[in-house]
Structure 1
């Protein structure tokens, strides 16, 4: 465990998201943005175990996953700005970040939409004899969708290398978990005989250790595993959300993952100047990312229909018929 790298990722996600909020409010980022502030420890702790050859599916709240995976901040920021230098050439935006070079099979604007993609990727790994794992992130709202149950069933039945990560922030948009779910997550997951762990999603080291334990079985070929991270989004469902559905006092029960870990590192003897230097370096990186995005050109209208279809990778028997 590299504690300074864990802190670096926590800090990068937090400050990236704070910049995104300010830039969106200033009218520089189009569409909608769903911030990951408060949930940084989940992506950081889980994806510290990412290896080349692994895959990932994300959600509409996917900036943190992409940054923890190693997607370059400048190309990410340019994508949010809708510029041609973005990781998706400005065509995906906030909710559809996609970076196949790093195994990121896309953020997804459809609730639970990444789950069947992850299971399909897991089947692909199995058929190709690959050694990777598919990290499948989703929120508590996704557990009420049919594809969630279908995905668990197939992954368990075929023992696919899928690591399901539920980021339970207790609200699906504006609806509380208890208002819309008649089941407990653990009992449901164990019904499919999938290994399950629950963890404090505000504690990055707790997430890291729980994820590591579960991933041992997945990488050993014993089938899927399921991690439920109890976390909390400190911001609304989207920037501008009036948040009439919850009380501000609720957040007091969830420590700030960044502040919590900084305090822990100082208590372990990490010098304050070391952390300040790391933070300064990250601020410079993010300043450059914003500058890069602002200076990047808009996409050419003539390229609007490019990248929509993939060329076949092999000949199918019926093509010659």
Structure 2
């Protein structure tokens, strides 16, 4: 397991992964969770007294994706570093699964000069040309750039694909519908992935969306639409394998919606008083559920679990130490790297 090499070799589309693939999916999920737990600790370590969002080694807002790891692991297992991924303001799990250098990502989160954006962007604006990864704090912003990348891949005659990940709240934005329409019209090699964690900040999907599943909206644009229930990483893997194979083969776009869970707040400091499902979130932890499932199947044993956990902890500790040891940007460089 590394964080500086290209993303995993694409797996062939199939109905169920083999045991080595299951283990790889688990390892990716564990690494994503370990990284976010470390960021959570570092973020809250020096926010007091009280809770001052501007204080500490990681100032500003922080959006973490604990519970949504099956989306990242299942989709990115079929991609290489030559494929493109655009993510949301909750991007760390997707960046890690797609092979973004975790040390440079951590440095960017800490606002250091060695970060992906030289410390300018922070955790919501991660850009990595080496893996064609980007994200944004603007809702639904990542969909049009994914179309542009897919258009370029198509025009160049390659079999590369673009994946645009967004939330269920963003599926009500104009950019979502415009992007699906154009992708279908031009038969672009793009896969739209909707992370449905039930809550668009504090508004439940049922109070904001006219249809029970955004996957149903795919039919309006002449593309396949699939909804994955139960946050099932293997089901995500299977659906993503079909969609990626379709896109690589010139079959055009697809839409996958995954009913996932946001285990923590919309942002750190969110009291979550609006949630009536908060007590159930821990019980829906996909990492714990998948670990139990693999233990029962004999894919994992206690020794392997401990080994994976220790390896992930070591990689994350190295990334956090790298970030802390990196210099802050010099004030005289404030206008550098802003425009090309």
- TM-score > 0.5, shorter chain as reference: yes
Q: Residue 178 of structure 1: CA displacement?
A: 1.4
Distance change >3 Å, CA 223–CA 254, structure 1 → 2 = farther
Deviation of residue 186 (structure 1)?
Answer: 3.1
- SS of 2:336's equivalent in the other structure is coil
Q: Deviations over 1:269-319 (max 9, x none)?
A: 122101211211111111111111111100122222222233xxxxxxxxx
* Displacement of 1:35: 0.5
Distance 1:290 1:253 in 2: 26
Provide the secondary structure at the position in 1 that maps to 2:135.
coil
Q: Give the superposition deviation at 1:92.
A: 1.2
1:134-170 deviations in whole A, cap 9, x for unaligned? 0100001111111111000000000001100000111
SS of alignment partner, residue 151 of structure 1 = helix
Contact 1:41/1:201 (8 A) holds in 2: no
Is residue 10 from structure 1 mapped to residue 40 from structure 2 by the alignment? no
Alignment of 1:297 onto 2:316: no
Q: Structure 1 residue 42 and structure 2 residue 71: aligned?
A: yes
> In the alignment, what sits opposite 1:148?
176
Aligned to 2:309: 279
Taking the aligned partners of 1:289 and 1:11, their CA distance within structure 2 comes to 15
SS of equivalent to 1:95? coil
Tell me, in whole angstroms, the C-alpha distance in 1 between the residues paired with 2:149 and 2:135: 15
Q: Which runs of 5+ in 2 are unaligned?
A: 1-16, 46-55
Deviation at 1:182, TM superposition (A): 2.0
Q: Given the two structures, how large is their TM-score scaled by the length of structure 1?
A: 0.92
| Larger displacement relative to structure 2 (199-208 or 59-68) | 199-208
Check conservation: 1:202, 1:256, Cα contact below 8 A. Answer: no
| C-alpha distance in structure 2 between counterparts of 1:279 and 1:254, whole Å | 20
Structure 1 consecutive aligned stretches of length 4 or more whose deviation exceeds 6 Å: none
Offset at residue 46 of structure 1 (A): 0.6
RMSD: 1.5
Q: Check whether the contact 1:84–1:299 (CA below 8 A) recurs between aligned residues.
A: yes
Distance 1:64 1:137, change over 3 A: same
Matched, 1:81 2:93: no
**Mapped partners of 1:195, 1:150: distance in 2:** 17
**Counterpart Cα distance in 2 of 1:94 and 1:78:** 10
> Displacement of 1:202 after TM fit?
2.1
Cα 1:23–1:249 change in 2 (3 A) is: closer
SS in 1 for 2:284: coil
Work out the CA distance in 2 between the residues paired with 1:294 and 1:215: 38
The question of whether the paired residues in 2 share the 8 Å contact of 1:53 and 1:131 is answered with: no
Structure 1 CA distance for aligned equivalents of residues 328 and 22 of structure 2: 39
Task: Give the superposition deviation at 1:97.
Answer: 0.7
Could you tell me how far apart the structure 2 residues matched to 1:151 and 1:271 are?
A: 44
Question: How many angstroms apart in 1 are the aligned matches of 2:278 and 2:306?
Answer: 30
| Residue 290 of structure 2 corresponds to residue 261 of structure 1 | yes
What CA distance in whole angstroms lies between the structure 2 residues aligned with 1:150 and 1:143?
A: 11
